């Protein structure tokens, strides 16, 4: 059925699209805010939410949406295997369609390596597709974490450490 209207591609906008209300500038002594808190939400079992919350700080929501007391800024977590990428893509779609609980903001996706080394090409392509829609933070394989040695964030995760306010 042709309605005469041109149909264009669907456009996803990354980041907030609202403009701040005009108001007085912040006072010099109060110009900086505290570190933003996040809720880590696993998109499947074993994603690494508890480990990330311990290393980077923030609220461990497990596999549930954060409740009223949890920070509304959400970081979705998944492993980099096929099932993990399927799960996180589905969760991103929930936000895109506006079906996430009201008041929650999706701030990014955190992909935790499921094994040491490079991703196979098909998985790397799926990660690239995700990156075209939302900010993706990658966490490499950390052998020490398997032993329960949860020290400082790995050097390769500096952007995630800055986002979460974790000390490097």
DSSP string, 115-137: SSSPPPHHHHHHHHHHHTTS-EE
Average pLDDT over residues 157-168: 86
Q: What angle do CA 136, 21, 32 make, to 5 degrees?
A: 60
Summary mean pLDDT of the chain? 83
Whether the pLDDT of residue 3 is over 90: the answer is no
Q: Say if CB 39 and CB 59 are below 8 A apart.
A: yes
Q: Given this model, what pLDDT does residue 135 score?
A: 96
pLDDT in tens, 39-51: 999 999 999 999 9
Q: For the chain, list the domains and their CATH numbers.
A: 36-164 (3.40.50)
Burial 2-17 (b: 16+ CB within 10 A, else e): eeeeeeeeeeeeeeee
Q: What angle do CA 115, 76, 143 make, to 5 degrees?
A: 25
Whether the pLDDT of residue 147 is over 60: the answer is yes
Least confident of 31-40, 46-55, 62-71, 128-137: 31-40
Whether the pLDDT of residue 31 is over 70: the answer is no
pLDDT band at 108 (very low <50, low <70, confident <90, very high): very high
More confident residue, 167 or 159: 159
First to last CA, the chain: 57
Q: Whole-angstrom Cα distance, residue 47 to residue 51?
A: 9
Q: Given this model, what pLDDT does residue 10 score?
A: 46
Name, in order, each residue with C-beta under 8 angstroms of 57's C-beta and a sequence gap of 6 or more. 35, 37, 164, 165, 166
Q: CA 88, 59, 142, 167 torsion: positive or negative?
A: positive
Q: Given this model, what pLDDT does residue 68 score?
A: 86
Q: Given this model, what pLDDT does residue 168 score?
A: 54
Q: Given this model, what pLDDT does residue 143 score?
A: 92
pLDDT in tens, 76-87: 999 999 999 999
Whether the pLDDT of residue 9 is over 80: the answer is no
């Amino acid at each position: 059925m042709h309605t005469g209207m041109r149909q264009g591609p669907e456009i996803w906008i990354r980041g907030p699209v609202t403009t701040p209300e005009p108001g007085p500038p912040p006072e010099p002594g109060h110009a900086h805010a505290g570190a933003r808190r996040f809720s880590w939400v696993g998109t499947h079992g074993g994603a690494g939410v508890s480990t990330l919350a311990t290393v980077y700080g923030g609220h461990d929501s497990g596999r549930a949406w954060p409740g009223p007391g949890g920070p509304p800024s959400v970081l979705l977590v998944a492993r980099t295997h096929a099932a993990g990428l399927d799960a996180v893509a589905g969760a991103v779609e929930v936000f895109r369609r506006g079906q996430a609980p009201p008041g929650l903001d999706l701030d990014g996706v955190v992909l935790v390596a499921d094994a040491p080394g490079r991703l196979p090409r098909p998985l790397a392509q799926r990660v690239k597709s995700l990156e075209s829609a939302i900010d993706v933070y990658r966490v490499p394989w950390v052998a020490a974490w398997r032993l329960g040695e949860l020290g400082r964030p790995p050097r390769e995760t500096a952007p995630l450490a800055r986002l979460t306010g974790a000390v490097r």
